[in-house]
Chain A
Amino acid sequence: MKTGKITGLHGIAFRNLRYQSFKTAVLFLLVCMMIAALFVSKLLVASMEAGMQKTCEKIGADLIVVPDRYVDTVQNALFEGKACTVNFSREWVEWLSQTEGVERVSYQLFLATLTAGCCDGENQLIAIDPQSDFVVKAWLSKEGKTPLEDGEIITGSALGKKAGDSVRYFNREFRVKAVLEETGMGYDNSAFITYQDAYDIAADPMYVGTLPFSAEEESVSSVLLQVKEGYALSEVEQSICSAYRKEGMSVYSSGELVGALAKQFHAYQGYGTWFEWIFVIMAAVSIFAVYVVNIRQRYHEFACMSSMGFSFRQIMVMLSEELAVNVLTAGIVGIAIAGGMFALFHLAIRSSVGLPLLLPGLWQILEIGLFILFLNILVSMIAYLYAVLRLRNTEMALLVKEENG
Chain B
Amino acid sequence: MKLELRNVKRDFVSRSGCHYTCIEDVNMEIHSGEFHLLYGASGSGKTTLLNIMTGMLRPTEGQVLLDGTEIQGKKEQELALLRRKSFGYAMQNASLLNSLTVAENISLPLTFFSGTGTAEEQLKKAGLWKVRNSYPSELSGGEYRRCTILRALVIQPDFLFADEPTANLDDTNAEIIIEMLEHLREQGTAVVVATHDKRFMEDSRQIHELG
Nearest-neighbor residue (CB-CB) of A302 within chain B: B94
A18 to B112, CA, bound (A): 19
Within residues 5 to 60 of chain B, which ones have a CB less than 8 A from any CB in chain A?
Answer: 15, 47-48, 51, 54, 56-58
A266 interfacial contact with B, CB 8 Å:
no
Nearest-neighbor residue (CB-CB) of B92 within chain A: A400
A136 to B101, CA, bound (A): 70
Contact between B95 and A304, CB atoms less than 8 A apart: yes
Q: Which residues of A contact B120 (CB under 8 A)?
A: 1
Contact between A20 and B99, CB atoms less than 8 A apart: yes
A2 to chain B minimum Cβ distance, whole angstroms, is 6
Contact between B83 and A19, CB atoms less than 8 A apart: no
B156 interfacial contact with A, CB 8 Å:
no
Contact between A397 and B108, CB atoms less than 8 A apart: no
A74 interfacial contact with B, CB 8 Å:
no
The winner among A3, A19, A307, A395 for most chain B CB atoms within 10 A is A307
Nearest-neighbor residue (CB-CB) of B120 within chain A: A1
Contact between B91 and A304, CB atoms less than 8 A apart: yes
Within residues 71 to 99 of chain B, which ones have a CB less than 8 A from any CB in chain A?
Answer: 76-77, 80-85, 89, 91, 93-99
Contact between B95 and A309, CB atoms less than 8 A apart: no
Q: Which residues of A contact B99 (CB under 8 A)?
A: 12, 15-16, 18-20
A26 to B51, CA, bound (A): 35
Query: In terms of DSSP, what is the predominant structure of the interface of chain A?
Result: helix
Stretch at the interface among A144-152, A204-212, A243-251, A310-318: A310-318
Contact between B80 and A397, CB atoms less than 8 A apart: no
A304 to B96, CA, bound (A): 6
Q: Which residues of A contact B100 (CB under 8 A)?
A: 6, 12, 15, 19
A2 to B101, CA, bound (A): 10
A257 interfacial contact with B, CB 8 Å:
no
Given A1-B103, A304-B97, 20 more contacts at CB 8 Å? A6-B104, A6-B112, A7-B112, A15-B100, A18-B99, A19-B135, A303-B56, A307-B95, A308-B83, A308-B89, A309-B81, A309-B82, A309-B83, A309-B109, A310-B80, A311-B76, A312-B77, A314-B80, A397-B57, A400-B93
Q: Give 28 A-B contacts (CB < 8 Å), ordered by A residue.
A: A1-B103, A1-B118, A2-B132, A3-B101, A5-B104, A5-B107, A5-B118, A6-B111, A7-B111, A7-B112, A7-B115, A12-B100, A15-B104, A16-B99, A19-B99, A19-B135, A300-B94, A303-B91, A303-B94, A304-B97, A306-B56, A307-B95, A308-B83, A310-B80, A312-B77, A314-B80, A395-B57, A397-B57
Q: Report which A residues bind B (CB closer than 8 A).
A: 1-8, 12, 15-16, 18-20, 300-301, 303-314, 395-398, 400, 405
